[in-house]
Amino acid sequence: MRWGVLQFPGSCDERDALAACERSGAEARLVWHEERDLAGIDAIVVPGGFSYGDYLRAGAIARFSPAMEAVGEFAASGGPVLGICNGFQVLCEAGLLPGALLLNESMRFTCRQLDLVEESSIDAFAPEKGGQSIKRHLSIPAKHGEGRYYAPDDVLDTLEENGRVAYRYAPGQNPNGSARDIAGVRNEAGNVVGLMPHPEHAVDPLTGSTDGLRVFEAVAAAGVAA
C-alpha cells in the first residue's frame, strides 16, 4: 500500500500527512503539483494548507494543476482519495465532491481539538462492522478560516439519504456554522472523502489522540474496483 500526498505551492500539512500515512502502516511519497504520473500509487491525500495562496477562492486555482487532473482520473477509476481541509476545498472546487466551503460564520480562524462523529456511512468502509451505525467519536483538531460546509438543501437531503455524510461535528461543537454539522462528505461511489478537521495531526499519543489514523485506514479501504 502506497499513498501519494500532493504538494502545491502553499501546502503546509503535507509532511504531517506523509507521516500519518506511514504510521498507518503504509508507504507514502510526495507528489509535486506538476506531476501527472500516479503509477504505483494506491491512494491519494490532498493535504491542508493554502494552495496557490488561496487566491480567488480556497482551492479554486489548485484544481487546475496537472496533479489534480491526474487525481480526477484516479478517482474516476475508483482510487481512494482523502481531502483534508484545503484538500477538501480543492475536491469541492474540482467537482469531485458536492458543496462548497465558505467563510466561517464567526469570521474567525478557528483552531481547536474537537469531537467528530463517524457517521454510518463510514462503516461501509469497514465491512466487518456489518454496516451497523457505531457513531464512534474521534478526537481530531480543526484549524481553518473557511470551513463552513454549504450545499443546497436538496443536495444535503440526498447526501443524508445515501449515507454520504462521512463525519459530523459532535453536538455543540460545530466550529464554523456548517450546514447540519457536516464536517466531511464522500462521493457517490464512496472512494473520495473530504473533511475539514485534520486527522494527520492526531496520530501520536504525544499530542493527545491517535484517532486520526482511523480516517486514513478507512479511506485506504474505500477504493472501488474499477
Distance CA 188, CA 200 (A): 24
- Among the options 14, 93, 144, 198, which is catalytic? 198
Rounded to whole angstroms, the Cα distance separating 183 from 164 reads 11
Is 198 a catalytic site residue?
yes
Number of shown-chain residues binding another protein (CB under 8 A): 18
- Residue 115 makes contact with another protein by CB under 8 A: no
Helix, coil or strand: residue 185? strand
Stretch of 45-53, 55-63, 68-76, 188-196 lying at the interface with another protein (CB under 8 A)? 55-63
Q: Where are the beta strands (DSSP E) in the chain?
A: 2-7, 27-32, 43-46, 81-84, 100-102, 110-118, 137-144, 148-150, 165-169, 182-186, 192-195
Which range binds another protein by CB under 8 A, 28-36, 44-52, 105-113, 191-199? 105-113
Residue from 60, 126, 170, 224 binding another protein (CB under 8 A): 60
53 binds another protein (CB under 8 A): no
86 binds another protein (CB under 8 A): no
Catalytic pick from 14, 85, 119, 201?
A: 85
Q: How many CA atoms lie within 13 A of 15 on its CB side?
A: 2
Reported as type and span, the H/E element at residue 54 is none
Spatial distance between the Cα atoms of 91 and 53, rounded to a whole number of angstroms:
16
Q: How far is the CB of 98 from another protein (least distance, A)?
A: 9
Q: Does 194 bind another protein (CB under 8 A)?
A: no
185 binds another protein (CB under 8 A): no
Residue 5 C-beta: closest distance to another protein, Å:
25
Can 85 be counted among the known catalytic residues?
Answer: yes
CA distances from 34 to 6, 39, 69, 71, 178 (A): 10, 15, 10, 12, 32
Q: Supply the minimum distance, in Å, between the C-beta of residue 55 and another protein.
A: 11
Q: Is residue 25 at the binding interface for another protein, with CB under 8 A as the rule?
A: no
**Inter-residue contact 108 to 92 (CB < 8 Å):** no
Would you count residue 180 as binding another protein (CB under 8 A)? no
Q: Which residue has the cell 506523509?
A: 18
How far is residue 153 CA from its own chain's centroid?
Answer: 22
Q: Does 104 bind another protein (CB under 8 A)?
A: yes
User: By the criterion CB under 8 A, which residues form the site for another protein?
Assistant: 56-57, 60, 64, 93, 99-100, 102-107, 148, 150-152, 177
The residues annotated with a catalytic role in the active site are 85, 198, 200
